[in-house]
Structure 1
Amino acid sequence: MVKRAHARNKQLLLTQDDYSTVREPRKASWSVLWRSSPETDKAISQEHNCRNWIQISVSLKSTYTAMSPHDQDYTPSPSYHDLVVDTSLGNASVHYIEAGSVPKPTVLLLHGFPSSSNQFRDLIPLLSDSYHVLAPDLPGFGLTKVPEDFVYTFDALTTIITAWLLALNITRYAVYIFDYGAPVGLRLALQNPDHIAAIISQNGNAYDSGFGQPFWEPIMALWNETNPNSEADRDALRKFYLQIGGTDYQYTTGVPEGDLKLVNPVAAQIDYYLNLEGRRKQDIQLDLFYDYRNTPPLYPKVQEYFRKSQVPLLAAWGKGDPVFIPPGAEDFKKDLPDAEIHLLDAGHFALETKRWEIAALIKKFLKTVKF
């Protein structure tokens, strides 16, 4: 029997450690759903204290659906898992969300900076009726845990996600790349091109033209060859990019004024307190800022992969994004003439305001894809 949280038509504020085991999962992982408790009920009235709480939206219609006894591969929509994988970089515990039916085609959702799988909280229910959906927390984000001496690079993040996919026996999937999800997803494609059925790019960049220079120039200062990764440059980035104001900026800049009311103000709070608060978390993000310098040199290989494979690609791009700008979407056509490009009236975190439109585009697009 599936253990479920007490159903209520409101949001629960839950501690990270407030878990309840729900079933014996596949591949020796363990599966969890957050549960209600007196502590969580008390916390409902403390919505401004985001430091020790994570907000999860509970939907009576789709969040906690019972598992059919006739479908052992069906996963409640969504369910929360932690899977320990052994890699050349040590053991990692990958936290992820799973939804939908396993026999259906898999869609892998890769989040960006400074978010986690929580970024996809509203998209997952819109896809899981038709697809098996997986959304991991990348190392350095969310609840994924790696060794203390882990060196945070995008190659290393890709190593962990590769091992996790292998442990789940996922060898064919469509990948949704957003922001930091792009350096990981594109590395996955270069490593195993046959595994990629399609690419969905929501402001996931693969071209030099896609960088919004005002946003990136201070980060690129870290890449300066004469004094790379200097403490002075790192400390300068802490003052904006790694503060709550910098996170709010990514959520709201470029969003039409009339749509700002659709942006969940708690999302930026979750991202900040979960991924950016404290010097250790900030150092992880600064290491990834510095390592991003190794991604643009991969673009020629990525573009060659596009030309050779002609992988089906959908770009659903927030045209108001200051981080990755529309030319990055339009340039997919140079190497993938059949790419489907949509510039949406949205910002960086386009799912906040355009999730229904993006979900509809994804479903229509994936109907044409051979998995």
Structure 2
Amino acid sequence: MVEVRHHYATVRGHRVFYREAGAREAPTLVLLHGYPSSSRMFRHLIPALADRFHVIAPDHLGFGNSDVPSVDAFPYTFDSLTDITEALLAQLDVTRYAVYVQDYGAPIGWRLALRTPDAITAVITQNGNAYEDGFVPEFWKPVWAYCENPGPQTEPAVRAALSLDAIRWQYLHGVDRPELVDPDTWAADHHEVSRPGNDLVQLALFRDYASNPPLYPQVHAYFRERQVPLLAVWGAGDEIFGPDGARAFARDLPDAEIHLVPGGGHFLLESHLDTVAGYVRGFLTAAASPA
């Protein structure tokens, strides 16, 4: 059985939790989780890959087992979360790596790629958006309204995303076999976003999500110029980032490998772990092979 190691690092004065598995001399894969989860979302994927890869999966500040500084003590923006991730990787002496992004992990991963393009060997995006095409309007309309005009008229709709029902929906919508999804997932996530002060953390990040689409043209230019190997593996039933968001990668990366997984939703690993792990193993092995 593959060992998964659990560590803390002090990064810029904050304790950052991360999971690690595999031999450190093997090619490194960094897993970046989304909202409202943590590196726990990769708990089954990590051992499925660690026989061949060195896998690192941090919890962003404000999530999981990492510190949750107050909004007065830390600026909760995607730039700041990227700062912490970049500093953690530097501390761990990780200079070359593939990156796997999902949901919130995507804007962090794109910023890492723009800051240190030579560090990124390959990209795996699992329901992690980089194109306007991916936004499902019914989900995003209240988010954009809150970003544009945060206040008592717009906040209730996004605050509702912190509820148990909303988090359960994130896990189950679009999934053809919901009995495969462990209810501990949404229970744990809800417990964590319900910690004192965490609602303000999440609201700050909701507001800052508006900083991501303006970055997309730079991300697309990075794709076109670097032609980084990219795998998009996407739950076809995702009603947050729809399948058009996966297809869009081919515009700038004609060699991108794109898979829409029928019966999968936003948290695809919960219902289709073996499918995703198979795609990832094959893709990373091919990406590491000489042309």
TM-score under structure 2 normalisation? 0.96
Residues 265-285 of structure 1, C-alpha deviations (whole Å, 9 max, x = no match): 1111011102x1145111111
For residues 48 and 288 of structure 2, what CA distance do their matches in structure 1 show?
21
Q: Match of 1:241, SS?
A: helix
Give me the whole-angstrom Cα distance separating, in 1, the residues matched to 2:47 and 2:288.
Answer: 23
The structure 2 residue matched to 1:338, chosen from 228, 243, 255, is 255
Question: 3-state DSSP class of the match of 2:203?
Answer: helix
Residue 291 of structure 1, aligned match among 202, 208, 228: 208
Instruction: Kindly state the Cα deviation for residue 261 of structure 1 after the two structures are TM-superposed.
Output: 1.1
Q: Contact 1:315–1:341 (CA<8 Å) still a contact in 2?
A: yes
1:201 paired residue number:
125
State how 1:11-22 maps to structure 2 within 5 Å. none
- State the shift of 1:95 in Å: 0.3
> Which of 181, 185, 209 is the aligned partner of 1:263?
181
Q: What amino acid sits opposite 2:248 in the alignment?
A: D
Find 2:222's aligned residue among 298, 305, 315.
305
Matched position secondary structure for 1:94? strand
Which structure 2 residues correspond to residues 275-290 of structure 1 after superposition, within 5 A? 276-278=193-195, 280-290=197-207
Taking the aligned partners of 1:94 and 1:139, their CA distance within structure 2 comes to 7
Q: Which residue of 1 aligns with 2:8?
A: 82
1:277, 1:147 → 2: CA distance? 14
* Deviations 1:104-146 (CA, angstroms, capped at 9, x unpaired): 0000000000000000011111000110000000111011115
Match of 1:169 in 2: 93
Instruction: Give the partner amino acid of 1:332.
Output: F
> Could you tell me which residue of structure 1 aligns to residue 43 of structure 2?
121
Contact 1:93 1:146 in 2 (8 A): no
Relative to 1, partners in 2 of residues 1:285 and 1:146: Cα closer, same or farther, differing over 3 Å?
closer
User: Deviation per CA, 1:126-177, whole angstroms, max 9, x where unpaired?
Assistant: 0001100000001110111154410100000000001000000001000001
* Corresponding residue for residue 281 of structure 2: 363
Q: Secondary structure at the match of 2:114?
A: helix
Q: 1:154-212 CA deviation, whole Å, 9 max, x = no partner?
A: 00000000100000000100000100000100000000000000000000100000001
Where does residue 6 of structure 1 map in the other structure? none
Q: Distance in 2 between matches of 1:147 and 1:207?
A: 31
The one-character-per-residue Cα deviations of 1:310-346 (angstroms, maximum 9, x if unpaired) are 0000000001001100011001000000000000020
Q: Letter of the aligned partner of 1:299 in structure 2?
A: Y
Question: What are the Cα deviations for residues 8-39 of structure 1, in whole angstroms up to 9, with x where unaligned?
Answer: xxxxxxxxxxxxxxxxxxxxxxxxxxxxxxxx
Classify the secondary structure of the residue corresponding to 1:79.
Answer: strand
TM-superposed CA distance for 1:348, in Å, is 0.3
The amino acid of 2:46's aligned partner reads: I
Aligned match of 2:111: 187
- For 1:310, the aligned partner's letter is Q
Corresponding residue SS for 1:272: helix
Counterpart position of 1:250: 170
**What is the identity, as a one-letter code, of the residue corresponding to 1:98?**
E
Partner of 1:70: none
Q: Please give the alpha-carbon distance, in whole angstroms, between the structure 2 residues aligned to 1:289 and 1:343.
A: 27
Is the contact made by 1:78 and 1:124 (CA closer than 8 Å) also made in structure 2? yes
SS across alignment from 2:162: coil
Once residues 274 and 52 of structure 2 are traced to their aligned partners in structure 1, the CA distance between those partners, rounded to angstroms, is 15
Distance 2:16 2:24 in 1: 19
**Contact (CA 8 Å) 2:6, 2:20: kept in 1 or not?**
yes
Aligned-partner residue type, residue 125 of structure 1? P
Structure 2 alignment gaps of length 5 or more: none
The residue that corresponds to 2:157 in the other structure is 236
State the alpha-carbon separation in 1 of the partners of residues 204 and 68 from structure 2. 15
Q: How far apart, in 2, do the equivalents of 1:147 and 1:281 lie? A: 9
Give the greater-gyration-radius structure (CA): 1
Higher relative contact order (CA 8 A, sep 6+): 2
C-alpha deviation, 1:370, in angstroms: 3.5
Q: Secondary structure of the residue that 1:303 maps to in structure 2? A: helix
Q: Secondary structure at the match of 1:83?
A: strand
Q: Partners of 1:102 and 1:278 in 2: how far apart? A: 34
Structure 1: gaps spanning 5 or more residues: 1-60, 63-76
Equivalenced residue count is 286
> What CA RMSD, in Å, does the superposition of the two structures yield over aligned residues?
1.2
* Equivalent in the alignment of 1:350: 268
The whole-number CA distance in structure 1 between the counterparts of 2:144 and 2:121 is 33
Deviation at 1:232, TM superposition (A): 3.3
